Amino acid sequence: MIITCPINKQRLWNTLMELGNIGLTSSNKAEGLTRLSLSKEDLAARSYLIKLMEEAGLEVRVDPIGNIFGKLNGSKKTAPVVLSGSHIDTVHQGGMFDGALGVLGAIEAVRTIKEAGINLTHTIEVVSFTDEEGTRFGTGYIGSKAMAGVLEEKIFTLEDDDGITYREAILNAGLDPLSYKEATRKKEEVKAYIEMHIEQGKVLEEHNMSVGIVTDIQGPIWLEVTLIGNPDHAGATPMHMRKDAALAMAEVLLEIETIATTYKGVGTVGKIKVEPGGVNIIPGKVSFSVDLRHVNKELRTEMVNKVFESLDRVSNRRRIHAHIDVKKDVDPASCSKEIVQLLEEVCSELSIPTKKIQCGAGHDSLIMANYTKMGMIFVRSKDGISHNPKEWTDLEDCAVGTQVLFETLVKLAK
């Protein structure tokens, strides 16, 4: 690996470890991080990030939806900016590299550019997008959608599990929901978006590689399904007289597994609520999430239609009422061929072995793909584990990924 200007890998690692201590689920570190969007844990992490960007000598700006930007000015003010980043919000009991590596790696890359006194034509902006995961309010990609001008106003009425609305959470964070449209930036303002992210899969590990180049990203559809039967006495109600919402759900869950397997996509039911929720009460109402993904949009549509058919058939037979809300519907996306080629060139110049990979997880890059030239650098995940406290990426792999990002940003911004 021929490096003219090495990034400071220990400094990068220290920031990952520091951010990884903000928002611990409990005193037991083995329970990972729970830093839900705009929670007090997320606000603490945001303060840390802003301090870090200032220490790196970047000009910091927070937009009305809470996207945090750190800017390193280029010589040509009118030239479109090169954007790089990811997110720092996490899922419940998540890991310390998902999103964080993309933001902290971009800060380290730009900090090294500044310290090396490399002259840039294009300004580089590091971005930490608000609420990529969607764990707290059930949708996600909020900050990137706001920047791309595709955020729908109805998200401000979404509520978290405690009944707090998005609007209240934004206000509580000192932001201004009424000005969210000011977060939109014109497409011509941005030259390219590069996101470095942990792979969250096993391909790089199987090929013993530190970094991969993403070609396509699966698009997620999130449904919220409510099944309404009839709460009744668990002892006194014969089986044939029941309208058990939980049994209807159980049938549909197994059919979702069959549908996803048949289409070679993925289907997940990660969140379930049973009401009234008593040992001796037949479940009268259940609500559950459905996450369906496929790299091919047409096949994903067929999967969704099959799930709707399953719900219809099972609820009719069981005399249950079914209601479906579509909470997220983001198309699969292909990375810019120009950026893929640039990343291949950088890896070849650095003599870093790499391979092209399809991406199963969703990222802000899905939204950026319709807004500017988008590319993703994947970094090896230990055992492919993610959305799990055991998520891990070695220091050396973080360093290699950040070096590739550094070289790519310099080429794009020169």
CB nearer to ligand HGY: pick between 140 and 265: 140
Report the distance separating Cα 211 and Cα 213, nearest Å.
Answer: 7
Q: Which residues make up the interface to ligand HGY (CB under 6 A)? A: 132-133, 140, 220, 361-362
CB nearer to ligand HGY: pick between 359 and 413: 359
Report the distance separating Cα 161 and Cα 155, nearest Å.
Answer: 15
Contacted by 362, from Mn ion, ligand HGY, none: CB < 5 to 8 Å by type: ligand HGY
Beta strands, E only, 139-230: 190-198, 211-217, 219-228
CB 183 within 8 A of CB 175: no
**From the CB of 273, what's the least distance to Mn ion, in Å?**
22
Report the distance separating Cα 374 and Cα 361, nearest Å.
Answer: 16
Interaction of residue 32 with Mn ion, rule CB under 5 A: no
CB nearer to Mn ion: pick between 259 and 361: 361
CB 332 within 8 A of CB 265: no
CA distances to 129, 137, 138, 257, 274 from 173, rounded to whole Å, are 14, 15, 19, 39, 32
**From the CB of 138, what's the least distance to ligand HGY, in Å?**
12
CB nearer to Mn ion: pick between 252 and 377: 377
Touching Mn ion, residues 86-115 (CB under 5 A): 98-99
Give, to the nearest 10 degrees, the angle between helix 297-317 and helix 245-263. Answer: 150
Interaction of residue 195 with Mn ion, rule CB under 5 A: no
Contacted by 102, from ligand HGY, Mn ion, none: CB < 5 to 8 Å by type: none
CB nearer to Mn ion: pick between 315 and 381: 381
**From the CB of 220, what's the least distance to ligand HGY, in Å?**
6
**From the CB of 94, what's the least distance to ligand HGY, in Å?**
9
Question: Among 42, 319, 353, which Cα is nearest to 213's?
Answer: 353
**From the CB of 176, what's the least distance to Mn ion, in Å?**
26
**From the CB of 88, what's the least distance to ligand HGY, in Å?**
13
Residue 133 has φ and ψ, to the nearest 5°, of: -70, -40
User: Which residues in this chain contact Mn ion in the complex, by CB under 5 A?
Assistant: 98-99
